[in-house]
Amino acid sequence: MRDLSDRSLDTAVQLGASYADVRVVHRRDESIAVKSGRVEGVAAGESEGFGVRVLVDGAWGFASSSRLATAEADRVAADAVRIARASATALRHRVRLDDRPRAHGTYETPIEEDPFAVPLEAKIDHLLAADEAARTVDGVAFTETRYDAQRETRTFGATDGSWTEQTFTHVGAGIEVNAIEGDDHQRRTYPDADGGPFKAAGYEYVRGLDLVGRSGPLAEEAVALLSAPQCPSGRFTIILDPSQLYMQIHESCGHPTELDRVYGTEASYAGTSFLTTDKLDEGFRYGSDLVDLVADATAPGGMGTFGWDDEGVAAQQVPLVQSGIFVGYLSSRETAPRIGRQSGGAMRADGWNRIPLIRMTNVNLLPKPGLSLDDIVASTDDGLYLASNRSWSIDDRRLNFQFATEVAYEIKGGKKGRLFKNPTYTGITYEFWRSLDAVGDASSYVMLGTPNCGKGEPGQGGHVGHGCSGARFRDVQVGVGKW
Amino acid sequence: MSQEARPEAPSPLDTLAIAERAVALAEAAGGTEVEALVSDERAQLTRFANSEIHQNVAETNGSINLRVAIGKRVGVASSNRLDEEGLRWLAETATAIARNSAELEDWGGLPEPTPISEIATAWSDGTAGATPEMRAEGVRAVIAAADAAGVRAFGSFSTAAEHLAVANSKGIRAMQRRTTAQLLTVHMGPDGGNGYSEQASVDATTIDAAAVGRDAAEKARASATPQSVDPGDWTVVLEEPAVVDILSMLAYMGFSALAVQEERSFAEPDKVVGSELVTIVDDATEPGALPMAFDYEGVAKQRVVLIERGVCRDVVYDAQTAARGGVTSTGHGLPAPNSYGPFPLNMVMSAGATSRDALVGEMERGLLVTRFHYTNPVHPKLAIVTGMTRDGTFLVKDGRIVGPVRNLRFTQSYLGALAGVVAVGSERRTLRGDFGGVLVPAVRIEGWTFTGATEH
């Protein structure tokens, strides 16, 4: 790989590139899907290739290929240079990158049990057992149990002499139970929908989920939701379980702090951000004093954990919100200088055939000593406890959001009680985070996240992490729409 | 390498020969049924923001998906190593997975060959030969229109060419080539005005970049300084990009045979779900729907009537759901493994009789919506979806646009929306949906429920 990388870089420089980098990526994945006791899909895959990114005359070009050959390295590098020259014909600002130390070294996800070494039959049997446990409950319509694993090796070389080699292992597993009656369809998932969340870990993470033990109670709750009352509408105190809070963080904290969005480079697809740079200068109050958010690319187990990002910037912890005040962005070598800072190391690419974009690493809401999540419930006289994300939507500046969860539990006198179905809640991002009045302590802190964070054209999926412990919000609009 | 050197792009792969070789290797390894899907894709995208090109990419990728059954045990392996060594690894891997998998009790087998007609309109040499200079020229035309209007342009111009082949052990030998091109832009003005425009086509040379730029510029200027309106039930005119979202979401939630078999679909034969003005089919031969000859299982695409004059008629099938349902595949299979089920990739909504001007002109009071943003099902079986408006929303009174409004959130049953259709546009546009081409008119709908508002 080193030879092909060096050849690509040399060719790019010979043809006029002032800077170039190249990533060679090999990705291996494995998936198992069990539906209602049937092994519907077992698959293994691999994908490999390389991508060359160049700066010519201050403009970007990128080309990539799955053919790992010297002649193709020349062709791809030349194509990238040609593309950059075409970019330069519609350029108003030459790209300037910040300085960073030359990157050198290796990184590997720490794992205890290699998921690819666990026999396939054992993994299938594990899922079948969980699926069977769910289907013993009367009223279950269908179930889906999934397992996914991915291993990616990635080298990065650049014309400044940087060279890194990294290996990432991510796994995920989960169960979904569906109950249907007439037009009503209720669902419960564990630990999250779509077989997630993944974790940067080995098969020990899957074993620790206790899918079999959790399936029966999950199924009972899915069936119980069919006869549960509709979630009431009005303004409520709500407590978000980590299984929902991580998605709230993702959409209303993670995405709006991406500095490329702020500068409009995602405008036509995913939109921009209300967190404009003047708000950084003025110390905008994003949330209440209890809100501390950090983008932490070093967090154990997080899908956004690495040694270096895809520009060769070392992993770091970047404060985004401190005591409720907006203080920082997810950034890159190109965007950070525009706010007078160094890159925060958040450039990540989805495979060999995509350019790096500013992506979340692990955007975490830090736990607060004092109250456990149970204590928060106990200190709530009247409210709702919402768990397990079902639906998400937020406007193109990340202000107006609406989420649905799979379940709401009524809270009366500090105790969780009856179920409500079809809960939804909505708000404006900064108003919502300012209404936070309690964050759980470390006892309920978990690293969650999503392997499907969409961004960019052509589309890219991102593996991002979110650590959180649960939190309480006051005076939130609950129950949206006609049911 | 000298600056003059211009290495040639690699020749297209012989996708069918690769597929046949993989099938032979997997059969030799013990597969009783084998299917190979081979793709050779060249894709490029030039992206612009703040009226300059900021990202510009190209990829060359050949890949193969191999499905092997041993009796009722099924395994799938995929790779983009297409040399003999790679194919051998693939055949051994897929076969080993099948051997170690559990039996799929109702495995229906791989599909049998069907007559496949070539669709010449699916390919354009103009798109296949598109260069970065050609895309940059189109982008400059879009930017020029933005400059002329005093706004900034943000968007992308993409071109792609794909050779696809499917071979299976039952005799399917299918090969097709397709091209697609799309130019889209959001123009953003200094006073909060946004405008969106898009063209998609098989042939990139038919895309009128200057016209796309002018459309978006006009809308961006018209939507400057938007005012607030209250959420609630409104009559709306949805322009084509918004209608695409309705069709795509309904496909996602209910037009699949698997969704019906799992009872999570709203679709039932002869169930009335929309007004008589609504007819939706999936027709992969329709040139305006970015056509394709066969699906990812090598089965010829059939025209499927999904909703006829407001009444549910049929859903789409792949081989497995067809076997379960005792019917034949309609040619809507996706690459294996596919626990989601079949999908309509070429949806077409019938045009109506109402001119574009009359859609708005006959609306007493309502909102004109350009497109939606970040829609997501809240309750799939009831087809309840939430999302936002964006890039041009306008208040209409007495048939005239009186000004732009700030964006609104809706929480609306898309089936309810079909039922509320009172007028359908006589013109249609080709647009790209989430998964394929869509040919749609604009529509007017009564009783659209907005449930919130934002600050812009």
Q: Name the domain count of chain B.
A: 2
Q: Could you tell me whether strands A436-439 and B33-49 are parallel, antiparallel, or unpaired per DSSP bridges?
A: unpaired
- Residue B310 inside a domain? The answer is yes
Measured distance CA(A35)–CA(B342) in Å, rounded: 16
Question: Which of A142, A358, A339, A384 lies closest to A240 in space, CA to CA?
Answer: A384
Which residues, including other chains, have CB under 8 Å from residue A375's CB and lie 6 or more apart?
none
SS3 B337: coil
**Sequence letter at residue B149:** A
Provide φ and ψ at A271, rounded to 5°.
105, -165
Question: Which of A338, A347, A289, A291 lies closest to A319 in space, CA to CA?
Answer: A291
∠B186-B187-B190 over CA atoms, to 5°? 135
CB A427, CB A394: distance < 8 Å? no
Q: CA of A298 to nearest chain B CA: how many angstroms apart?
A: 29
CB proximity B407 to A under 8 Å: yes
CB B370, CB B242: distance < 8 Å? yes
> What is the pLDDT at residue B7?
60
| Chosen domain end from B167, B185, B216 | B216
Cα A156 → chain centroid: 22
- Same structural domain, B60 and B90: yes
CB A334, CB A262: distance < 8 Å? no
Give the Cβ contact number of residue B235 at 10 Å: 17
For B203, what's the count of Cα atoms within 13 Å in the CB-facing half-sphere? 10
- Same structural domain, B185 and B249: no
- Same structural domain, B167 and B37: yes
CB proximity B225 to A under 8 Å: no
SS3 B310: coil
pLDDT per position in chain B (456 positions), as tens?
Answer: 444 445 667 778 899 999 999 999 999 999 999 999 999 999 999 999 999 999 999 999 999 999 999 999 999 999 999 999 999 999 999 999 999 998 999 999 999 999 999 999 999 999 999 999 999 999 999 999 999 999 999 999 999 999 999 999 999 999 999 999 999 999 999 999 999 999 999 999 999 999 999 999 999 999 999 999 999 999 999 999 999 999 999 999 999 999 999 999 999 999 999 999 999 999 999 988 999 999 999 999 999 999 999 999 999 999 999 999 999 999 999 999 998 899 999 999 999 999 999 999 999 999 999 999 999 999 999 999 999 999 999 999 999 999 999 999 999 999 999 999 999 999 999 999 878 899 999 999 999 999 999 999
- Same structural domain, B257 and B232: yes
Question: If you write DSSP's letter for every residue of A204-260 in order, what string do you get?
Answer: HHHHHT-HHHHHHHHHHHHHHHHHSPBPPPEEEEEEE-HHHHHHHHIIIIIGGGBHH
CB atoms B374 and A394 under 8 Å: yes
- Residue B109 inside a domain? The answer is yes
- Same structural domain, B441 and B333: yes
CB atoms A82 and B94 under 8 Å: no
> What is the pLDDT at residue B2?
47
Residue range(s) defining the domain that contains residue B235: 226-453
pLDDT tens-digit map of A78-108: 999 999 999 999 999 999 999 999 999 999 9
pLDDT tens-digit map of B244-255: 999 999 999 999
Smallest Cβ distance to B105: which of A38, A63, A355? A38
> What is the pLDDT at residue B4?
44
Q: Where does residue B353 rank: exposed (0-12), middle (13-18), buried (19+ CB within 10 A)? A: exposed
Dihedral, CA atoms, B134, B139, B141, B145, nearest 10 degrees? 170
CB B30, CB B94: distance < 8 Å? no
The residue of chain B nearest to residue A63, with distances taken between CA atoms, is B58
Smallest Cβ distance to A86: which of B43, B56, B455? B56
| Chosen domain end from B164, B195, B216 | B216
Instruction: Extract the tokens encoding A73.
Output: 């390295």
- Same structural domain, B21 and B144: yes
Which residues, including other chains, have CB under 8 Å from residue B207's CB and lie 6 or more apart?
B138, B157, B181, B183, B199, B201
Q: Where does residue A450 rank: exposed (0-12), middle (13-18), buried (19+ CB within 10 A)? A: buried
CB atoms A62 and B57 under 8 Å: yes
CB B67, CB B94: distance < 8 Å? yes
CB atoms A392 and B376 under 8 Å: yes
Provide φ and ψ at A347, rounded to 5°.
-90, 120
- Residue B112 inside a domain? The answer is yes
The residue of chain B nearest to residue A77, with distances taken between CA atoms, is B7
- Residue B1 inside a domain? The answer is no
CB atoms B50 and A11 under 8 Å: no
Walk me through the domains of chain A, giving residue ranges and CATH numbers. 2-227 (3.30.2290.10), 234-478 (no CATH)
Smallest Cβ distance to B136: which of A71, A72, A87? A87
**ipTM given for this complex:** 0.96
Which residues does chain A have within 8 Å of residue B135's beta carbon, measured at their own beta carbons?
Answer: 86
- Same structural domain, B234 and B171: no
Residue B74 is part of a domain; what is its CATH number? 3.30.2290.10
Which residues, including other chains, have CB under 8 Å from residue A10's CB and lie 6 or more apart?
none
Spell out a b/e string for A66-99, using b for 16 or more CB atoms within 10 Å of the CB, else e.
bbbeeebbbbbbbbbbbbbbbbbbbbeeebebbe
Dihedral, CA atoms, B369, B375, B380, B384, nearest 10 degrees? -40
- Residue B102 inside a domain? The answer is yes
Smallest Cβ distance to B49: which of A16, A40, A265? A265
Q: CA of B287 to nearest chain A CA: how many angstroms apart?
A: 24
CB proximity B374 to A under 8 Å: yes
- Residue B337 inside a domain? The answer is yes
∠B273-B277-B280 over CA atoms, to 5°? 65
- Judged by CB atoms within 8 Å, which residues 240-269 of B form the interface with A? 262-264, 266
Q: Best interface-test mutation with B: which of A25, A87, A231, A233 has the largest number of B CBs within 10 A?
A: A87
Q: CA of B229 to nearest chain A CA: how many angstroms apart?
A: 15
> What is the pLDDT at residue B3?
44
Question: Which of A68, A353, A1 lies closest to B85 in space, CA to CA?
Answer: A68
Q: Which helix (H) or strand (E) holds B331?
A: none
Instruction: Extract the tokens encoding B298.
Output: 């090598």
CB A308, CB A166: distance < 8 Å? yes
CB proximity B47 to A under 8 Å: yes
Which residues does chain A have within 8 Å of residue B61's beta carbon, measured at their own beta carbons?
Answer: 49, 64-66, 353
Give the Cβ contact number of residue A401 at 10 Å: 25
Which residues, including other chains, have CB under 8 Å from residue A442's CB and lie 6 or more apart?
A367, A369, A469
CB proximity B104 to A under 8 Å: yes
CB proximity B1 to A under 8 Å: yes
Q: CA of B107 to nearest chain A CA: how many angstroms apart?
A: 9
- Same structural domain, B241 and B368: yes
Instruction: Extract the tokens encoding B140.
Output: 């400059």
Q: Which helix (H) or strand (E) holds B327?
A: none
Measured distance CA(B297)–CA(B299) in Å, rounded: 6
Which residues does chain B have within 8 Å of residue A78's beta carbon, measured at their own beta carbons?
Answer: 1, 5-7
Smallest Cβ distance to B1: which of A14, A180, A422? A14
CB proximity B66 to A under 8 Å: no
- Same structural domain, B235 and B210: no
Smallest Cβ distance to A59: which of B1, B5, B53? B53
CB atoms A267 and B53 under 8 Å: no
CB proximity B4 to A under 8 Å: no
Q: Best interface-test mutation with A: which of B45, B51, B78, B80 has the largest number of A CBs within 10 A?
A: B80
Q: Which helix (H) or strand (E) holds B378?
A: strand B365-379
Measured distance CA(A88)–CA(A86) in Å, rounded: 5
- Look at A198 and B306; give whichever has higher pLDDT: B306
> What is the pLDDT at residue A192?
85
Q: Give me the percent of chain A exceeding a pLDDT of 70.
A: 99
- Same structural domain, B200 and B263: no
pLDDT tens-digit map of A222-249: 999 999 999 999 999 999 999 999 999 9
DSSP character at residue A361: S
- Same structural domain, B413 and B308: yes
CB atoms B132 and A458 under 8 Å: no
- Residue B118 inside a domain? The answer is yes
Dihedral, CA atoms, A440, A441, A442, A447, nearest 10 degrees? 20
SS3 B184: strand
Question: Which of A391, A364, A384, A382 lies closest to A464 in space, CA to CA?
Answer: A364
> Helix crossing, B84-100 with A120-135: angle to 10°?
40
| Chosen domain end from B152, B184, B216 | B216
- Judged by CB atoms within 8 Å, which residues 170-199 of B form the interface with A? 184-186, 188
Max Cα-Cα span within chain B:
72
Q: Could you tell me whether strands B232-238 and B437-453 are parallel, antiparallel, or unpaired per DSSP bridges?
A: antiparallel
**Sequence letter at residue A221:** E
CB A280, CB A426: distance < 8 Å? no
Measured distance CA(B132)–CA(B46) in Å, rounded: 8
Q: How confident is the model at residue A196 (pLDDT cuts 50, 70, 90)?
A: low
- Same structural domain, B282 and B144: no
CB A402, CB B409: distance < 8 Å? yes
The residue of chain A nearest to residue B153, with distances taken between CA atoms, is A268
Measured distance CA(B209)–CA(B197) in Å, rounded: 10
Smallest Cβ distance to A43: which of B3, B53, B76? B76
- Residue B234 inside a domain? The answer is yes
Q: CA of A160 to nearest chain B CA: how many angstroms apart?
A: 20
